[in-house]
Amino acid sequence: MATHNLTRVVTGLAKKNLPACLLKRTSINSFVVTKRHATHFKFYPDPPPIDCGPTEKMNLFQSLTSAMDISLSSDPTTLVFGEDVAFGGVFRCTVDLKEKYGQDRVFNTPLCEQGIAGFAIGAAVAGSTVVAEMQFADYIFPAFDQIVNEAAKYRYRSGGLFECGKLTIRSPCGVVGHGGLYHSQTPEAHFAHAAGLKIVIPRSPIQAKGLLLACVRDDNPCLFFEPKILYRAAEEDVPVGDYTLPLGKAEVVRLGHDVTMIGYGTQVHVLKEVAEMAHDELGISCEVIDLVTITPWDEEAVCKSAAKTGRVIVSHESSLTGGFAAEIASTIQKECFLNLEAPVERVCGYDTPFPHILEPYFIPDKWRCFEAVKNVTNY
């Protein structure tokens, strides 16, 4: 639940217990405490999947560590590497893995994303299962050539003689509240255009562990973007054992019959909250779909829902123009044209780079999505 800026004046001794970043001096003895915006979403945990055995409370980064731990223990060829992964990673996703599996399997690479990607592709081609990390999705672009021109095309251009299906590249993505231009991006649209890749974005710890294991075991090069704002904020009862979730399958996370809302990653939680608001304040029943896999995406599930409701909203943090919502909207209008009661609405970041202090105005927050629900039902 988002809260507004809170300010209160504190004096003298009281200020000693507050972190310096929250204090602003207004006079010799007075300070104003400004609390930054809290998150723009409310996390909706899922119950654990049935038949997956015992569970443990894990947040997103812990569930990812668990997935990598299982891959390292079940597959002796698995390698986990990237910048700073050895000490546990800047987001704690690889904690204790080096200690458990050794430096030859869990290791730091030099600071070079094109090298990480190229090295990872080569290792996968040579038969190792590879989980390579790009420290922030914003920094994946030096690796763009290797990923798009090499990884995506390896199997196609060799007729299957060589392929890098054992490659998974994972990277923190998404709005985090203060990331600005270079710690907030989700580059799914740039890569969606490269046939041959699979792109997956989980919404929660349970989803992330199962999907990461699925990517690791999938015989195609996969990009796995992890919404960093969920690393600590999202906590669920996650199965401790080995399980996978299907790639290429969207999930209806809330059933409804008036409006279809499609999103992925953190935005699924925003949409879930909007669905509650629509129900409570407008009496509108919204169906919320988590796309899960960006490419290849589940056209069938999405079009089935769009045909049912006739009113669709697609929403993602990434910018509007050329964003993945355009792809979904285009397909929906072609496949479900006669079922539509209103044009497909897209609620996305604006066509600007990610701003820092102006982030609350940039992101497709619940109010913009709520307004889209009104638009799509009042057409």
Partner 1 sequence: MSVGRFINCAAIKAAYVSSFRQTFHGAAISAVRYKSTTPQSEDPLGMKIIGGPRSFINKLEFLEPKLEDAIPIYRVYDTEGKILDGTQDPKLSEDVLHQMYHSMIMLNTMDEVMYSAQRQGRISFYMTNYGEEASHIGSAAALDNRDLVFGQYREAGVLVWRGFTLDEFMDQCYANVNDPAAGKQMPVHYGSRDLNFVTISSPLATQMPQASGAAYALKRTHPGLCVICYFGEGAASEGDAHAAFNFAATLDAPCLFFCRNNGYAISTPAHEQYRGDGIAARGSGYGMITIRIDGNDVLAVYNATKKARQIAIEESRPVLIEAMTYRVGHHSTSDDSTAYRAKKEIEEWTSGDNPINRFKFYLINERQCWDEERDKALAAECKKQVLKAFTASEKRKKPSPSLLFTDVYDDLPPNLVKQRQEMVDHLGKYSKHYPLDDHEPV
Residues known to be catalytic: 113, 183
266-269: list long-range contacts, CB under 8 Å, 24+ apart: 266/41, 266/174, 266/175, 266/203, 266/227, 266/229, 266/230, 266/317, 267/41, 267/315, 267/316, 267/317, 267/364, 268/203, 269/41, 269/42, 269/43, 269/44, 269/203
Nearer to partner 1, 77 or 244 (CB): 77
Q: Which is nearer to partner 1, 129 or 266 (CB)?
A: 129
Q: In which residue are the tokens 């943090």 written? A: 317
Contact predicate 323/346, CB 8 Å: yes
Distance CA 227, CA 349 (A): 16
CA–CA gap between residue 359 and residue 172 (Å, rounded): 18
Cα gap 375→222, rounded to integer Å: 36
Instruction: Report the C-alpha gap between 26 and 268 in whole angstroms.
Output: 41
Shortest Cβ distance from residue 323 to partner 1 (Å)?
A: 18
Contact partners, residue 27, CB within 8 Å, separation at least 6? none
Residue closer to partner 1 by CB (options 155, 254) is: 155
Q: Is residue 90 helix, strand or coil?
A: coil
Which residues sit at the interface with partner 1, rule CB under 8 A?
77, 79, 104, 107, 109-110, 112, 114-115, 117-128, 130, 142, 145-146, 149-150, 153-163, 165, 195-196, 198, 219-220, 248, 296, 299-300
Which of residues 196 and 364 has its CB atom nearest to partner 1 in the complex? 196
Helix (H) or strand (E) segment spanning residue 316? strand 312-319
Give me the amino acid identity at 53. Answer: G
Q: What are phi and psi of 159, to 5 degrees?
A: 65, 30
Our CB check for partner 1 shows the closer of 146 and 185 to be 146
Minimum gap (Å) between residue 204 Cβ and partner 1? 25
* Pick 130 or 270: Cβ nearer partner 1: 130
Q: By three-state DSSP, how is residue 11 classified?
A: strand
Smaller CB separation from partner 1, 244 or 375: 244
Q: Are the C-beta atoms of 43 and 234 separated by less than 8 Å?
A: yes
Separation of alpha carbons 339 and 323, rounded Å: 24
Nearest distance in Å: CB 224, partner 1: 16
Q: Which two tokens stand for residue 103?
A: 């430096």
